[in-house]
Every structure is written in structure tokens, then in C-alpha cells.
A and B are shown apart, each in its own frame.
Chain A
Amino acid sequence: MLTALLSGDAPRSRALAAVLIVILAGLAFAPFVFPGTRSLNVAAKVAVFVLLVASYDLLLGYTGIVSFAHTMFFGIGGYGVGIAMAKLGVGWGSLALGIALALTASAVLAFAIGLLSLRVRAIFFAMITLAVASFFQILASQLSWLTGGEDGITYKLPEFLHSRVACYYVILVLALLFFLALLRIVNSPFGRVLLSIRENEFRSEALGYRTVTYRTAANCIGALGATLAGVLYAIWLRYTGPDTTLSFNIMIDILLMVVIGGMGTMYGAAIGATLFVIAQNYLQDLMKLASDATKGVPFLPDLLHPDRWLLWLGVLFILSVYYFPYGIVGKLRLMAAGGQNR
């Protein structure tokens, strides 16, 4: 049962399993264990970002392509919900229509980008996606009659989603389902082909797999995952704007989460997103303490200033690319495997 649910991809490390159970339990009981709006916001953000980062991991970790357009698809999901609610009226029908349109738009766009630029090398794809994503960001801020420009759109949702707790559980359950679906995909024969492309593109082509087709398919699946994450986030925030969906900072956050958590493992996405979002919200408090404690020492308080939390995560990011290419999850699994061999 459990094996089927996890698609046969067990954590393979007791510590990892424990961490995952803690995360899941924490998310499941968040409204009761950690009361208060701030912690509920953090929990919802974790749930959404686990899905977002997992869908990015499908691209970066499993297929080995670097895309900078992931926030664009995230944004398409958010704007799909936002525009549908604001222009078509509040209701389940228009919500469904908005989501369907967003998914279609993402799939078409991902397909087009993939077809145009996945034939060539990784760097070219990264540069093109960066350009397209920044174009989309400009578009969203310029078409203010549709998107609300820089201010974004605030909207109401159907009655059922008004209760924060109910809304939270809807998001959590959907995010979990989509996460398990992604886990299923990467552990299918299709996912194995993606891995083989990452390891050696030439060889998988020689084995008879059309790598362009597989990469484009992976790009589309990743985009759809990001769009669904965008939809969920929009439902939680009841607001869609460039800063919460499209900004390049979110793209950097996603990269940090994937790499620190562990590329090429869906569980890494879960751990990375959880750690990062918690750090984003609570590390600053800690750093403020440290900054105050080191007052009087030259330069150090500035380095420890609460606004500089990204500096430390950036350093951690570089170190993990060099020394733990498979992130926290890879490290934990390695330790578990080493223990068995002894």
C-alpha cells in the first residue's frame, strides 16, 4: 500500500523517513499545533512550494535542464485564477475555467519553448528561458487592464474556501496528491529515460530514445506542475501580483531549495522547500539576535543583519553544489547505505 503510494521510491534512510514524517505531520496538524495566522501562512507556503520545487526538480534534477522560466508558469497559474475570479465573477465554474485556461496556456508555451530551444545545449536553453520569463514579467506589469499591473489583483473565492482552515486543507491535500503524481512519473519507465538523458544524452539517443521528445515532455510536465502550484498559491493568498508569482527572486529561491534539498530526488524538494520557507520566516529572527549580540564588533553585525539571510543561504548553496551534489537527501541516503555495508 505504502510502497504503491510512494511508487516504490522509499526514502531508503531512516533519518530521511523520520524527517519526512515530521514534515508531513507538521503540515497535517499545522492549524492545531501551531495556531496563529503567521504559522498557518508558513505551512501553506511550504505545501505550495513543495509542489513547485518538486516540479522544478523534474527538470533540473531528473532531466538535467536548467530553466529560468519556472516562475513564469507559476505566475500563469496564479493569474489564471486571479483573472477568472476578477473578470468572470466568483464561482466554481469560472475557477475551473481559469485553471483550465492556465494549464492550456502553460502547456502550449512550454511546448513551444521546448521545441525551439531544447535541441541545443543547456546554456542556450537557460538563457532563452531567462529572456522569455523576463518578457512575461514585463507583459504582466504592462497589461494593467487585465493583470492589475504592479499592484496585482485581489479577489474573492467561492464560499467554501473562505474559512482559512478549510482552504488550508484543500491546498494541502491537492499539493500532496500532485506531489505523489510527480513521484509516480519520475519512477515510471518515462522517468528512467529522463534520468538516462541526464546521465548521458548521447547514449540514450543511441539506445533509440528521441531525447528532444522526452525533454520537451518533461518541460511540459514541469510547467504544468508549476501552474498547479501557482493555482494553489493564488487560492491561498486570494491575491495575484508580480511580486508573489513572477519575480526573479522566487526563481532564485526555487533554485536554492532544489539544490540544498537534493537534486534528483523528489524528497529533496520537500525537505528543501520546508527548510527554506522556515528559514525565510524564522531565520531572520535568529539573525537579529546574533546581530544584536555582536554589536560593537566592526562589520560583523552587518553580515548578520536579518535582511542578509539570503547571503548565508547563497553560501550554503555554492557549498552544496560542490560538496553535496545530491543535497541533504543524497547525504542522508549515502550515510544509510554506508551503515548497511559495514
Chain B
Amino acid sequence: MKPVADAPAGALPVERVDWIPLALIPAIALAALPLIPSVPTWVTLTVAGLAMGMMIFMMAAGLTLVFGLMDVMNFAHGVFISVGAYAATSVVLAMKASMQADSLAANLSAIVPAVLAAMALAGLLGWFFERVVIRPVYGDHLKQILVTMGGLIVVEQLIHVVWGPDIIPLPKPATMAGSFIVADAAIERYRVLAVLVGLVVFGAMWLILNRTRLGLLIRAGVENPEMVESLGYRIRRLFIGVFVAGSALAGLGGVMWALYQESVNAQIGMQMMVVLFIVLIIGGLGSVGGCFVGALLVGLVANYTGYLAPKLALGSNILLMVLVLLWRPRGLFPIGKA
């Protein structure tokens, strides 16, 4: 905390915004521009990168909030992603006709219930997880890691039991497939949708965290949980709420990701976990803003390197992480206790 000696009496100290990591996003996008031969390709890649980043952010947001609030790292967060994706698949496959119909209303009548089902199931599973698996091991990181890994194994196997071991193809709805062309640059519709949904989620989160009483309590809980508790708020209930909301968001991210990939398999969750951890480390453990910036950086860098040096693409996020850690050893926006 900075001393606020020169602030006028009675005024709250103004929080200084750290702009440098934020500026990194356009900086990287601009740095890639001269490397990529044609501008339309660059636009396509940038949109793809932003879309990917937004989806990663949706999946990672819950994880980082839970860690910040309750100091719990849930290694099984990935199963909420898979479960969400599978739940949506079941709904979508049951409503195949309206998915393939060439009208937005029909498509939405399949997608909206699918997304709701995904979020509901993932949230329910999150509630169950917090109650049964994580509650006994608060404060013990070693056991948290072990137990949540165990949960990951069990739920992944249960997915196999319920939905079978095969990869399920999941075509995009007719009106959201394909792409449109803006000034020679082909832009996939679905990516634009992903960016929009991501922005809505981030905006809603930002508003809730910064403009509501609930958000105030959550932020205070991240800073100092004992103090919030001693002021008479039930931090446990707050935590369950955040955990369930985070799981539901992961479920939403899972649906978006599965539709983007046009297939579902039980490994999605685990594959994404590695990316999520990288994003969290880049952003600073527990920081929502850092998570957002980190996710966009990872998305952009992955898409640019995928085009420029395909062999490097899969390892690009690790390289990014190493670079960020060399610059800021505790991530872009370090939070007090991490």
C-alpha cells in the first residue's frame, strides 16, 4: 500500500492502474504485423487469437478467483469444462433439426438451452465438489493437489461411463458457421461471437466485482478473509457462490470451446488445464484482470506463432510464460499473498 500523504483529507486514495501489461496486448499484435506478409491474414489471426483468449478467460476466471479468495488450487477445474461440453452436446444432439436449420431463431432455440444445461450441470458439480472433495482439505495445499487430482480421475472416468469413450462430433449451428469478409480479411462468424460473449462475461464480472456490494465483499475477501469474517460476513457462503459461479463459467467456456473445435472428448478438460495454469501464472495467481490479459496474450501468441512457426506453436505459451516470469517473477498483476 502506498502512503497517501498528499491526498486531500477525506478523499479515498486513487488506485494506480498498472498500464504496462495492458499495453502488451496491442504491442504484441502490432509487433506481429510486419512479420506476417498480408494484412488480411493478420486480421484473421488477430480475431482468432482474441476469440481463443476470450474462451480461455472464461474457463480460467473461476480458477483464479477461487484461488485468490480461498487459497485453493483446484486441479480438477478441467472437469467442469468437459462436463459442460458434454452436457451441451447431449442437448444439441437431441435438437439436431433446429441446429441445422438456417435460421438464427431456430439455432438459438437449441444453443441457449444447451448453454444453460452446461452451466447448470457444471455449477452443480462445482457445488458438489466444494462440499465433498475440497472442504476437508482447506489450508493444506499438498492434500488439495492430491485430492483434486483424484477428483479429476474419477469424474473423467464417470464421463466415459455416461457418454462413452469415443469422440463425439459437434457441428456448429448453421447460422454461426462459415465466415464473412471485411476488406479482404476472412473472419469466422463464430470467432466474433466468442469475442462478444467473452467481453460480456468480462464486463459483467468487472461490474459485479467493482460496482456491487457482493463484489466489494469478494475483493475484500481476497485481500483479507479473516477481517471480512470478523466483520460478520459469512465468507464460506461467499466462497461457495464464487466456486459455483466459476464452475458454471468453466462449463460455458467448455461449450464454446467444444463448438469451436466441433468435437468433444473427455480429455478436453485436462488438455485445457495446462493452458489455464500458464494463463494464471502469467497473470499472477488470484488476479482476475491478470487472468484476462494473460488469456488474451496466450491466445494471440499461439495464433501468430501457429502461422509463423507451426512447430513452435504448441510450446509458444510456455515460452511466453518463461519470458513473463523473467520480467515479473510473480506474474503480471501479483496479488498480495500469492
Give A contacts to B, CB under 8 Å. Answer: 60, 64, 66, 116, 121-124, 126-128, 130-132, 134-135, 138-139, 142, 248, 252, 255-256, 259, 299, 302-303, 305, 307-308, 310-311, 313-315, 317-318, 321-322, 325
Q: Which residue of B lies closest to A322 (CB)?
A: B136
Across the interface, B147 reaches (CB within 8 A) one of A60, A123, A131, A322, namely A322
Task: Tell me the complex Cα distance, A311–B142, Å.
Answer: 22
Pick the residue among B149, B270, B315 that contacts A139 (CB under 8 A).
B315
Given known pairs A66-B142, A314-B150, A318-B147, the reply for A135 and B318 (CB within 8 Å) is yes
Interface residues of B in 154-193 (CB under 8 A from A): 154, 157-158, 160-161, 165
Closest to B312 in A: A142
Q: Is the CB of B318 within 8 A of A307?
A: no
Note all chain B residues with C-beta closer than 8 A to A121: 141, 338
B145 in complex: contacting residue of A126, A314, A315, CB < 8 Å:
A126
Cα(A145)–Cα(B1), bound, Å:
54
Residue contact A130 to B318, C-beta cutoff 8 Å:
no
Contact yes or no, B311 A142, CB < 8 A: yes
- C-alpha gap A116/B318 in the complex (Å): 14
Task: Report A-chain residues with C-beta under 8 Å of the C-beta of B325.
Answer: 116
Contacts of A310 in B (CB 8 A): 153, 157
Closest to A315 in B: B154
B69 on the interface (CB 8 Å rule)? no
Q: Is the CB of B161 within 8 A of A303?
A: yes
State whether the Cβ of B250 lies closer than 8 Å to any Cβ in chain A.
Answer: no
Q: Does residue B296 face the partner (Cβ distance < 8 Å to A)?
A: no
CA distance in complex: A120, B75 (Å) = 18
**Residues of B with C-beta under 8 A to A124:** 281, 285, 338
**Distance between B74 CB and nearest chain A CB, rounded to angstroms:** 10
Chain B residues 231-284 with CB under 8 Å of chain A are 270, 273-274, 277-278, 280-281
Task: Name the CB-closest residue of A to B278.
Answer: A131
Which 9 residue pairs of A and B lie closest in terms of their CB atoms, listed nearest first? A314-B153, A311-B157, A318-B150, A314-B154, A127-B277, A135-B318, A317-B150, A138-B314, A123-B73
A314 / chain B contacts, CB cutoff of 8 Å:
150, 153-154, 157
Say whether A64 contacts B142, CB under 8 Å. yes
Q: Given the complex of chains A and B, what is the CA–CA distance between A285 and B176 in angstroms?
A: 47
Given A122-B141, A248-B270, A308 contacting B277 (CB threshold 8 A) = no
Write the nearest CB–CB distance from A109 to chain B, whole angstroms.
Answer: 14
In the assembled complex, the Cα of A307 lies from the Cα of B266 at a distance in Å of 14
Closest residue of A by beta carbon distance from B144: A123
With CB as the reference atom, state the residue of chain A lying closest to B271.
A134
Interface centre among B73, B141, B150, B285 (most CB of A within 10 A): B150
- Complex CA distance for A310 and B159, rounded to whole angstroms: 12
> When the two chains form their complex, are residues A123 and B145 in contact, meaning their CB atoms are under 8 A apart?
yes
Report how far A329 CA is from B278 CA in the complex, Å. Answer: 36
Contacts of A302 in B (CB 8 A): 161
Instruction: Give the residues from 119 to 158 in chain B that come closer than 8 angstroms, CB to CB, to chain A.
Output: 133, 136-137, 141-147, 149-151, 153-154, 157-158
Contact digits for B297-318, partner A, Cβ 8 Å, 1 yes 0 no: 0000000000000010011001
* Beta-carbon contact of B314 and A142 below 8 Å: yes
Q: Are A318 and B151 in contact (CB under 8 A)?
A: yes
Known: A311-B154, A314-B150. A122 touches B311 (CB 8 A): no
